[in-house]
Structure 1
Amino acid sequence: MSTLTALARAQAVATGRAQPIATVRHLHVHHEPLVLVPFAMAGEANAPLAAMIGTDPAKPRLLVVRQPRNRDDRFAFFAELAEELLPYLESFATESEEVPIDRGKDVRLRYLDAPQLWVPNPAGVDFLRLLGRSTRFRTVDGEYPVPAGVPRLGRWLTFLTGAAEMPGSALLLTAVQALGLHWATGQSGTEDAQFGTQLAWIESGAAAARAAENGPAAGPATDPEFDNRVLAPLIERSAPELPDVLHELILPTWDGMWRALGLLRGLPVGDRVSSRWDSDRDAYTAFADYIAEGGAPQPRRDSAVAAAARLARLENAAARYAVQRAFDDPLVLAEHRLTGAAFAGVVTLANPNRIDDSGKRKALRPRIMVHTTEPVRMEPGTSLTSPARTAQKARVISVTPAGDGVDVLLELSGGMGRKLVAEPGSVPEVGERLVLTTLNEGFRPGGSFPDPADTPWTHGGPPVTEAPV
């Protein structure tokens, strides 16, 4: 937990109301998301009990498994879920746009939109991951055939749950994580995992949150008391009223999911959210085309090289996401100012037309002086960036004590045009307030990995063979 988030939680306790920890929305909220509230039977691995699903808050569809331990009933549920999910997921694979690549020398196609699936909590994502793993290898013929949509559903769920691990992705989102990214409640992070109490903190305050603690669970696990007192007898005698009981159980969470989406839509969207959604559309386009071409199911586990490459992508995405959030949101950037990775100050001197002729060619290298009262922990030579001018680099020349703070002399490069005269507005003027940081959202090259055939046998390569004696 960061310092400012801890302070916001303390303020939430003192005031009895959740506190905002973001000034903008850091994720894409689709105009037509699909909400899924899954429930599973306690003590049974991947034994679905029910799911409420739909794109219209007023028209949810409830899917129920009357006997979760019965294989035929489970796969009938999977088939019904596929009937609901697959048309939605594949409905966006229609109209496409041309995207320039290779510096405009070529183009590729990308679908204009992509699906977005919402579940209440991370346990819901884990449930879908397990469901995908158990269905994507099923066959539609043979000894235990399943409906044609079931293995395709498994491949889509595996893709979506994999995308959910990518920082900044918005294809599969959880309500508790999305709300926790923008509000701090007066309870612990573990308690925030209970969707009902977290939402009550944000909507109404501490008193409502205390009342919500005894409310229905948001799945996929059910309350043990409910299991013993209500659910078990209904399943045992295959009671016809089971769907009505489950509908009453799930409906409060369903309504809360749509209220959470409304809260998020009420926030102004961050400037860099659209670029991350473009990346999601790229991923969706590639996978939708792969499925349409009859692609095989994802492997049970990645090879050593594939796992290392995926880890590198996740690390790069996490670093890029952290920088983008900071550049979009002053509250997030304030965290970096506290840790010494950024500082704010006022420009006191500026030489916008300075030319550096020490090299073979003359170069425009303006210098500015920034006065700040914040601690500056950057050594001379450090490269800084301002969120207001991300294409421009500011190299620290010197840091000098001055009055109640320090004067930081900076040399600028980039983002000023190609001439020896800076374009208007490209160089900060005297009196302008700047935030400068070591964060940089520039391109990060991917790692270099060997071919699987070049790895040792312990990592999937060829086995060691001994020459005959």
Structure 2
Amino acid sequence: MSVLTALARVKAVREGQAQRLVSVRHTHVSDRPLVVVPLRMAGETAAPLAFMIGSDPEAPTLLVAHQPRDRALRFRFLADLADQVLPYIESCRTGAEATTAKSGEEVVVYGDAPQIVVPNGGGIGFLRLIGRSTRFRKAEGPYAVPADVPVLGRWLTWFADRADQPGTANLLSMTSVLGAHWATGQSGLEDGNLAALLGWISPPAGLTGPTAAARAEDPLQCPPAGPATDPGFDNEELKPLMDAYDTASDPAARTVAAGRLEQAVRLQLEPTWRLMWRGIDVLRTLEPGASVATRWNRDRSDFSWFAGKFDEMPPQARRDDAVPAVRNLLKRERALEEFEAHRAFDDPWVMAEYRLTGEACHATVIAAEPLRTVSGGTRKTLRPSIRVRISDEAFSAALGDKYVCVERPKQQATVIAIDSETVELELSGGMGRKLTPEPGTVPEVGDRIGFARFSPASAHPMPTLPPREETPWTHGGPPAEWTPSVYDAQEEWS
């Protein structure tokens, strides 16, 4: 926890209200997200009990597996889930535009991309498990399942993989997104309770954050947001209702038992459903940061690529080979570095954290030479200089250090002189190609500007990795060509 976050938590306790950590929203929120509230069967790792799902807050769809241990009922439930998820995904494949990738290949990018929002990190993990347990299933032969079930599994696996990529917005955990934008007066573990977290951020009328969060601890008033259910509900309501369903003597009795079970589950899910849309409304009150649209465009491109290649590719492998595993790890590290830099450059509140650690600073321009040039071979090059007084004590400069201007991210500044109170910087980039800088590209005397030792564009380059067929013996050697088999679908918990 950073110093400023700790201070925000102290202030939240003192005022009884969550405190914003950011000045803008750093996550894309779709105009039409698909909200998914999942519940699983207690003691069954990947057995879904119920889902409340939909993109309309006033018209949720309730899906219930009346007996999750029954394989036929479970896969019928998953087919119903596919009937909700797959049409939503397909509805995003509109407004296609042909563009040319860096490789020169012509690709199609759709005008939108799907966004699934679940209550918490456990919901993401549960969707991952469902994807893993269904994507290898077959629609024909022994133990056949409905044709849409393995398709759903592949898409859920893709969403779960996207959630692992920092900065993406195709699959979001509501508690994680809210917790990244607000600080509460409770612990990080308690922030995992969606009702308690929203109680601090947006308490009901007449309540403070602490009192609203205290109410959320009562499972009768605020049932758990899943995927696990409350043990009291399991023992006192769910088990008797499932027993009644299992022992029903005729179809009419089973229909009545199913209706009672569905009503009990609905009462467990509806409070979380309302909280989810309340959380979305709260997030929409924040203006998006400047780089949010750029990252969402990348999400659209990745969705478009996967959708376009879907029919050509086999299901995702259970485990990556050595080279793809390293490549994925490096991509995630670079994505995290880029995302953190984007947040700082978009948001002065986030940049303040870096100023405290000496990674960035604010400075006042006290002298400027905008027409300064340097000779390089046979031609001159525009290299304006500015002299600044740095106001951040944690920041220390050394000759030759290179910084990025926060207000002009394409502009670099190199330290060329230092005295006891000021620093002289040589500017390059972002000023045009002439010997006269474009208007507004060089700071003027009296301007307050920021500099950082990092940049969204300075992520470490990807190293050259060997082709798959040249995997070194230290990493198992070249892997055999992988093709899905019936054994891939076999799991101890499925």
CA distance in 2 between partners of 1:310 and 1:17 (Å): 40
Matched residue, 1:467 = none
Matched residue, 1:349 = 367
Q: Deviations over 1:84-112 (max 9, x none)?
A: 00000122223212335449x87532111
Matched residue, 1:276 = 295
**Residue 294 of structure 1, CA deviation:** 4.3
CA contact (8 A) 1:97 1:112 kept: yes
Amino acid at match of 2:404: T
CA distance in 1 between partners of 2:239 and 2:371 (Å): 79
**Residue 408 of structure 1, CA deviation:** 1.6
Matched residue, 1:113 = 112
Matched residue, 1:312 = 330
Q: How does 1:70-469 map to 2 (within 5 A)?
A: 70-102=70-102, 107-204=106-203, 205-214=209-218, 215-238=222-245, 239-240=257-258, 241-291=260-310, 293-357=311-375, 359-375=377-393, 376-402=395-421, 407-442=422-457, 444=459, 445-457=461-473, 459-462=475-478
CA distance in 2 between partners of 1:230 and 1:439 (Å): 56
CA distance in 2 between partners of 1:64 and 1:294 (Å): 33
CA distance in 2 between partners of 1:440 and 1:71 (Å): 52
**Residue 232 of structure 1, CA deviation:** 1.4
Root mean square deviation of aligned Cα: 1.5
CA distance in 2 between partners of 1:301 and 1:295 (Å): 16
**Residue 443 of structure 1, CA deviation:** 5.3
CA distance in 2 between partners of 1:196 and 1:399 (Å): 53
CA contact (8 A) 1:166 1:317 kept: yes
**Residue 456 of structure 1, CA deviation:** 3.4
Matched residue, 1:55 = 55
Q: Deviations over 1:288-307 (max 9, x none)?
A: 1122x342101111001000
CA contact (8 A) 1:169 1:276 kept: yes
**Which stretch has the larger CA shift, 381-390 or 425-434?**
381-390
Matched residue, 1:466 = none
What secondary structure is seen at the aligned counterpart in 2 of 1:280?
helix
**Which stretch has the larger CA shift, 226-235 or 128-137?**
226-235
Q: Deviations over 1:214-245 (max 9, x none)?
A: 12100000111221122111112213301001
Amino acid at match of 2:277: W
TM-score (norm 2): 0.90
Number of residue pairs matched by the alignment: 457
CA distance in 2 between partners of 1:414 and 1:100 (Å): 27
Identity of aligned residues (%): 49
What secondary structure is seen at the aligned counterpart in 2 of 1:401?
coil
What secondary structure is seen at the aligned counterpart in 1 of 2:379?
coil
CA distance in 2 between partners of 1:311 and 1:396 (Å): 35
CA contact (8 A) 2:108 2:305 kept: no
CA distance in 1 between partners of 2:105 and 2:476 (Å): 36
CA distance in 2 between partners of 1:188 and 1:396 (Å): 43
Q: Is 1:25 aligned to 2:13, yes or no?
A: no
TM-score (norm 1): 0.95
What secondary structure is seen at the aligned counterpart in 2 of 1:429?
coil
Amino acid at match of 1:325: R
Cα 1:414–1:456 shift into 2, 3 Å: closer
CA distance in 2 between partners of 1:451 and 1:294 (Å): 21
Q: Deviations over 1:348-380 (max 9, x none)?
A: 100000011254421111110111221222322
- Structure 2 unaligned spans of 5+: 204-208, 246-256, 480-494
CA contact (8 A) 1:453 1:460 kept: no
**Residue 439 of structure 1, CA deviation:** 1.4
What secondary structure is seen at the aligned counterpart in 2 of 1:53?
strand
Amino acid at match of 1:401: S
CA distance in 2 between partners of 1:381 and 1:23 (Å): 33
**Which stretch has the larger CA shift, 436-445 or 408-417?**
436-445
CA contact (8 A) 1:39 1:221 kept: yes
Cα 1:141–1:458 shift into 2, 3 Å: farther
Matched residue, 2:250 = none
CA distance in 1 between partners of 2:79 and 2:343 (Å): 39
**Residue 399 of structure 1, CA deviation:** 3.2
CA contact (8 A) 1:90 1:288 kept: no
CA distance in 2 between partners of 1:195 and 1:418 (Å): 53
CA contact (8 A) 2:25 2:181 kept: yes
CA distance in 2 between partners of 1:226 and 1:185 (Å): 29
